[in-house]
Chains A and B, each alone.
Chain A
Amino acid sequence: MRRPNPMTKPFKQIGFISALLSRRATWWMFLFADTVRAQSPTNIFDPAGTPAHSIFSLSMLVFSVTATIFLIVGALLLYALLRFRHRSEDPSREPAQIYGSNQIELAWTVIPILIVVMLFLTTTRVILTTESIPKPANALDVTVIGHQFWWEYRYPGFGVVTANELHVPISDSANPRPTYLKMSSADVTHSFWVPRLAGKMDLIPNRINTMWIDPQVPGLYLGQCAQYCGTQHAKMLLRVYAQSPADFTAWIKQQQKPANQDFTGNPAAAEGQTVFLHSACINCHTVAGTSATGRFGPDLTHLASRDTLASGSIQNTPENLKKWIDDPSSMKPGALMPPMHLNDHDLSAITAYLTTLH
């Protein structure tokens, strides 16, 4: 992803200024990295992708500039307060009245302007390298659609639809393959934020935004919705699984299959499928290859292959699944899925069916 970008050329000249400053920034970087890196799986100072990295370097520069200003001005202020504190016993004595000084005032107008220009040019460079970089031909396209309160992921190149757990291939310098996210919303405004991979981008109804991520190490990257979207904004969690190219291809192959129809030795699941296809479930959920084609809720074709339920907020176990179907609001109050009012037998059957959807 570090290919030359014609748009950033005019900004190369100021490169040496920021390079000079980033010497000091490096020191800060080590300090921060060591003290806070291990603290959190969503630490913005522990970048694992190119956009997050360039933001991190820029933020260290900004930190060192602002910290220097704080130390200088704060020290002067403290000195003035101590040095010129009231001491005289004579209440009628007043200090010399000074009304201003053009030279000094000019100095503290011009110096901040220079700092602003430097910061502005550096910032512009990062904006352009993140937002205006041409999309590589081999990039993976994923469409992200925000819903109250879950995420829909569609892989148009592969005909795969899934929910809440985004799988992407890793992208390293030997084999760069960024993932381009095309984002919109089905209802209200949401925001996609996985701090270790990139900054956030809003998902706005009637509007298409794009962003890209390129995780470099396989693993699970967490995040959550960052724009208030209603009652369960807090439990609209994000999970990004970065996989080696081979693992990713295997995952895609699995997801491309239609839903499991083989219930040999599992009569409960077979019965569950019948109950499922004859209840209100199909109004909102899709199970590919069956008559369930609803679009309002998450696609369930490969539900059992997912680690979590309810947008990352609970573990995907049969017990949790059963409890969820019985009354979603007991686990995630405000979730839009209604309680299904099934008897215990049907509930167990549907649970048995859904756990076969690998």
Chain B
Amino acid sequence: MADSTPVMEGLDQSLAVKRPRLEAIYEWITTVDHKKIGLMYIAYALIFLVVGGFEALLMRIQLAVPNNHFVSPQVFNRLFTMHGTTMVFFMGMPMLFGFANYLVPLMIGARDMAFPRLNAFSFWISAFGGLLLYFSYFGGSGLYGAGSAPDVGWFAYAPLTANVFSPGHSTDYWTLAVFLSGIGSIGTALNIVTTIICMRCKGMKMSRLPLLIWLYLVMSSMVFIAVGPLTAAQIMLTLDRYVGSHFFDTQAGGSAVLWMHYFWIFGHPEVYILVLPAFAFVNEIVPVFSRKAIFGYPAMVAASIAIGFISLSVWAHHMFTVGLGPAGNTFFVFATMVISVPTGIKIFNWLATIWGGDVHFAVPMMFCIGFLFQFLIAGLTGIMLSVAPFDWQLSASYFVVAHFHYVLVGAIVFALFGAFYYWYPKVTGRMMSEILGKWHFWLFLIGFHLTFDFMHVPGLLGMPRRIYTYEAGRGWEMWNLIVSVGAIFQVAGIACFVFNLVRSYFRGEIADHDPWDAWTLEWATSSPPPSYNFAIDPTVHSRRPLWDLKHPEDPDSDYE
């Protein structure tokens, strides 16, 4: 692609002198630079991706054949609890916040986040939350000698978490870890919202924000509303366990359903909190590799905001089997179905962006294409689940597990991999290997479809989730074996990715500051960007400032 990219470059890289190792470590630990914090978030999330993936692999080995004795029921129950908690709170959230930290100031032409020290605080408190969760393997038995890691499931339904059913400290580690992660998330969300509102460069009106920024604005605003109830519920649970309050203590008149409401008023917006950044990456990558402006920018913004609002009113679709009664059920059926409208708008707009374009099948775009098809399927199985009577059959079955992994892996993780390949040259100044990237893509794609396509079937055949083993003769054996084989392909794909990530840092082809011939501000500065991001504060005149510079004869600013 063309490299006729202009001005606004960072200045002398010679400022970055080589320094002794200890000093470098000290610098990373004490840094308040948004890029360094962003990278620490991402590195931390990658470690937990591998840990959580390993837990998933162990579960798939256990479930590959019926009546297996690979792990005990106690160990299995800990595995799925830790897998879920890790992937949502210590992989998903930090990973997406990491990208936000790195990209938001660069894309709005700012020199840092609004509150750099809050930023560092939020990262470290989340990081310690993750360590606390895993320390439960050693500390969970406590004085009671009961338990190790938590085994109450990632949504930890009351009253299973009460002292009488969960003796020892395992549940406390879970509660505290999620609590700390919540504090960190709220801090970072606050930071992102403030940065986007207050730190935009000259000319960057709200109507000119890149869509990635819009989506992070909606996502962060949702974090405020959604994470608060969860954090409150963790405090209530701790009071129940240690002070003798009875919020969720059904033995003393508390309510199990209250916990479900608290958890899911967080839990469902959380799904959108995770998926909006995936939309954000796709919104940046698809136009660049289709060589066209995003189709229907105002509709995309409106749809994102609509998703933000509606997603706050759908939580009880996780509770169709709780006995809410016909009135409650129909309300949440309607709210859940309606959210498919703005989501559909997004898919159609991506389709229209590709239509009439000049599609380059580079690795970031390949992952985004995977995203588009898989997100389409995930959305459609979501419509099936929104139909309450159908959900009475499907809820808590492997169909649901397959559905939300289609969202979390098929959509979010695919978009995330696309983002890694796309922004890696900006971060390191080197390209990731295209060949290894394609191996990664195809292995992961095959593994993903073997695992999660076939996982729908045992759900339809009556297999509930969270069982450590199952009997032969239920018609589930073949499907589970295929699902487990898929896991091996996914592991191979991830291995290619991690190897590529490390190898390219040392041996990757040197990238110039704008290797994809892109249009947003982060590509205007050097790769990697200097600590001050931009030597001169940029001024923008349209949504695609670099398009205007590259095409002075036909700038976007003429049309907006």
Contact = CB atoms under 8 A, between A and B. Distances in A.
B245 to A, nearest CB: 16
B121 to A, nearest CB: 35
Interface string A77-97: 100110011111001111111
B239 interface: no
Contact of A92 (B2, B160, B254, B395): B2
Contacts of B345: 105, 108-109
B355 A36 contact: no
A334 B352 CA distance: 56
B390 interface: yes
Contact of A84 (B251, B357, B467): B357
Nearest to B299: A105
B461 A226 contact: no
A79 to B, nearest CB: 9
Contacts of B293: 97-99
Contact of B464 (A76, A98, A187, A193): A193
Nearest to A207: B257
Query: Chain A interface: which size bin?
Result: 35 or more
Given A205-B250, A206-B254, A95 B292 contact: yes
A113 B344 CA distance: 10
Contacts of A198: 392
Name, among B340, B348, B383, the residue most crowded by chain A CB atoms within 10 Å (CB to CB): B348
B380 A66 contact: yes
A226 B351 contact: no
Given A124-B330, A195-B462, A200-B321, A234 B338 contact: no
Interface string B436-473: 00000000000000000000000011111111111101
A188 B559 CA distance: 61
A84 B462 contact: no
B206 interface: no
Contacts of A20: none
A139 B390 CA distance: 25
B347 to A, nearest CB: 7
Nearest to B333: A123
B390 A200 contact: no
Top 8 A-B pairs ranked by shortest CB distance? A199-B392, A42-B462, A40-B475, A234-B467, A209-B323, A205-B250, A100-B296, A40-B461
Interface of A: 36, 39-45, 52, 54-55, 58-59, 62-63, 65-66, 69-70, 73-74, 76-77, 80-81, 84-88, 91-101, 104-105, 108-109, 112-113, 116, 119-120, 123-124, 126-128, 130-132, 148, 187-189, 191, 193, 195, 198-202, 204-207, 209-210, 222-234, 237, 333-334
Interface of B: 1-2, 72-74, 77, 151, 153, 157, 159-160, 165, 250-251, 253-257, 290-293, 295-299, 321-323, 325-326, 329-330, 333-334, 337-338, 340-341, 344-345, 347-349, 351-352, 354-361, 369, 372-373, 376-377, 380-381, 383-384, 387-397, 460-471, 473-476, 551, 554, 556, 559
22 contacts: A39-B461, A41-B475, A54-B389, A73-B348, A84-B358, A96-B356, A113-B341, A119-B337, A120-B330, A123-B388, A148-B165, A193-B396, A193-B462, A199-B393, A200-B396, A202-B323, A204-B250, A204-B322, A209-B322, A227-B396, A228-B465, A234-B469
